[in-house]
């Protein structure tokens, strides 16, 4: 089976011209990394972890370094990962002071009998696995500080309009053995309460993967995504025989009409077809398949290039 990887950089409002190129390059780097892992025989889980790690390390995105700040000006991150082979899953929430929450989520999946660790328990587990603790300030950027200041002045936080909280990252992949996986990672929403947990670490909301159906990673207004279980809802439509396009339109449409919640998703089925969809103004994405790299940010612009 030909491997496929698709990545996203979060539902967003229109992205300024000067950021656009950096965001596009981040998407290309992440998709290429995931695809190379698959081409070298890595699993779908390896590929989604690798792609998301690239984006957590990239300060342009709201995950890892560059995460948005909570009401106290701190970074608290959520992440989850799932292996479609056996539905094993790992998640962490409200984690601080580590570079790559997605790696910790994978360790929860593989090294504990649990699916989800939070806050101090997650921190203790990270230390026990040898994950280095870094100063929280290393995750903070000038842009995220300005973003929080602006949000506090406008007092407009927490609207179902996710568009201020751009940059959550995610990946879905299909490997040569027919396994699918997803990974999603985020700093959440700007000016959030301390301890707020969004959709991203919640399996069925922030993502889902099942070899019998496909894999999905979501982004957008977390509270809305949680209320409709956006990821599992979309896969339910696929199970019912809808096309990927129809399934994505139905679930995103329902979230919008029922809750005024905006968002986006990347969706892959078990035979390697994929679709990207969003109801926010924009969503950076890239997909690697058959030696080609497809990418875009706005609805009207898709680029196709040869992969190196
Ligand atoms: N931009 C995002 O996707 C934010 C994320 N879904 C959250 O609410 O935590």
- Could you state, in order of their start, the residue ranges of all structural domains in the chain? 4-306
Is 224 a pocket residue for ligand 1 (Cβ < 6 Å)?
A: no
Asked whether 274 and 287 are in contact (CB, 8 A), the reply is yes
Is 222 a pocket residue for ligand 1 (Cβ < 6 Å)?
A: yes
Determine whether 168 is an active site residue: yes
Provide the pLDDT for residue 165.
57
Separation of first and last alpha carbons in the chain: 20
Asked whether 162 and 11 are in contact (CB, 8 A), the reply is yes
- Record: fold of 4-306: 3.60.20
pTM for the predicted model, two decimal places: 0.97
Band of pLDDT at residue 154, cut at 50, 70 and 90 = confident
Q: Is 220 annotated as a binding residue?
A: yes
Q: Is 219 annotated as a binding residue?
A: yes
Contacts 24+ apart (CB under 8 A), 293-296: 293/28, 293/31, 293/32, 293/35, 295/24, 295/27, 295/28, 295/31
Rounded to the nearest angstrom, the distance between the alpha carbon of 187 and the centre of ligand 1 is 8
Reduced 3-state DSSP string for 76-145: CEEEEEEECCCCEEEEEEEECCCCCHHHHHHHHHHHCCCCEEEHHHHHHHHHHCCCCCCCHHHHCCHHHH
Provide the pLDDT for residue 90.
98
Is 200 a pocket residue for ligand 1 (Cβ < 6 Å)?
A: yes
d(CA 263, CA 197): 17
Provide the pLDDT for residue 155.
66
Give tens-digit pLDDT for 170-209: 999 999 999 999 999 999 999 999 999 999 999 999 999 9
Q: What is the share, in percent, of the chain residues with pLDDT greater than 90?
A: 89
Q: Which of 117, 148, 152 is nearest to 131 (CA)?
A: 117
From residue 113, give the alpha-carbon distance in Å to each of 109, 110, 117, 280.
8, 8, 11, 37
Residue 13 has pLDDT above 90, yes or no: no
Asked whether 91 and 82 are in contact (CB, 8 A), the reply is no
Provide the pLDDT for residue 160.
52
Asked whether 78 and 92 are in contact (CB, 8 A), the reply is yes
Rounded to the nearest angstrom, the distance between the alpha carbon of 56 and the centre of ligand 1 is 14
Q: Is 243 annotated as a binding residue?
A: no
Arithmetic mean of pLDDT over the chain: 95
Higher pLDDT, 48 or 158: 48
Provide the pLDDT for residue 227.
98
Band of pLDDT at residue 17, cut at 50, 70 and 90 = confident
d(CA 186, CA 181): 17
Rounded to the nearest angstrom, the distance between the alpha carbon of 26 and the centre of ligand 1 is 18
Is 207 a pocket residue for ligand 1 (Cβ < 6 Å)?
A: no
Give tens-digit pLDDT for 96-112: 999 999 999 999 999 99
d(CA 84, CA 57): 25
Give tens-digit pLDDT for 268-290: 999 999 999 999 999 999 999 99
Interface predicted TM-score (ipTM) of this complex, two decimals: 0.97
Residue 234 has pLDDT above 90, yes or no: yes
Asked whether 151 and 163 are in contact (CB, 8 A), the reply is no
From residue 143, give the alpha-carbon distance in Å to each of 67, 68, 70, 164, 258.
10, 9, 14, 13, 33
Mean pLDDT of 6-17: 89
d(CA 60, CA 196): 22
Give tens-digit pLDDT for 37-88: 999 999 999 999 999 999 999 999 999 999 999 999 999 999 999 999 999 9
Phi then psi for residue 79, to 5 deg, are: -155, 155
Provide the pLDDT for residue 282.
93
Residue 157 has pLDDT above 60, yes or no: no
Residue 156 has pLDDT above 70, yes or no: no
Q: Is 24 annotated as a binding residue?
A: no
Q: Please give the sequence-ordered ranges of beta strands (E in DSSP) within the chain, or none if there are none.
A: 4-8, 77-83, 88-95, 116-118, 169-174, 180-186, 207-210, 214-220, 263-269, 274-278, 285-289, 292-296, 302-306
Residue 307 has pLDDT above 80, yes or no: yes
Is 219 a pocket residue for ligand 1 (Cβ < 6 Å)?
A: yes
Provide the pLDDT for residue 159.
54
């Amino acid at each position: 089976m030909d491997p496929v990887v698709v990545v996203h950089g979060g539902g967003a409002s229109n992205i300024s011209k000067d950021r656009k190129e950096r965001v596009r390059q981040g998407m290309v780097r992440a998709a290429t990394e995931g695809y190379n892992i698959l081409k070298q025989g890595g699993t779908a889980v390896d590929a989604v972890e690798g792609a998301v790690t690239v984006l957590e390390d990239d300060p342009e995105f709201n995950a890892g370094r560059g995460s948005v700040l909570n009401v106290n000006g701190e970074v608290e991150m959520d992440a989850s990962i799932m292996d479609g082979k056996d539905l094993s899953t790992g998640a962490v929430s409200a984690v601080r002071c580590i570079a790559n929450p997605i790696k910790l989520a994978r360790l929860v999946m593989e090294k504990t009998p649990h699916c989800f660790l939070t806050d101090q328990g997650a921190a203790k587990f990270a230390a026990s696995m040898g994950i280095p603790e870094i100063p929280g300030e290393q995750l903070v950027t000038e842009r995220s500080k300005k973003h929080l200041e602006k949000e506090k002045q406008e007092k407009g936080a927490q609207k179902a309009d996710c568009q201020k909280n751009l940059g959550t990252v995610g990946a879905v992949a299909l490997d040569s053995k027919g396994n699918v996986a997803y990974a999603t990672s985020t700093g959440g929403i700007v000016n959030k309460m301390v301890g707020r947990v969004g959709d991203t670490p919640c399996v069925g909301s922030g993502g889902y993967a099942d070899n019998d159906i496909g894999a999905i990673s979501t982004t957008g207004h977390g509270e809305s995504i949680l209320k409709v279980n956006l990821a599992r809802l979309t896969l339910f439509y696929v199970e019912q025989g809808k096309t990927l396009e129809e399934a994505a339109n139905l679930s995103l449409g329902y979230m919008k009409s029922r809750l005024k919640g905006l968002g986006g998703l990347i969706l892959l089925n078990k035979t390697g077809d994929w679709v990207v969809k969003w109801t926010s103004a924009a969503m950076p994405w890239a997909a690697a398949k058959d030696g080609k790299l497809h990418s875009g940010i706005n609805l009207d612009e898709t680029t196709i290039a040869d992969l190196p």
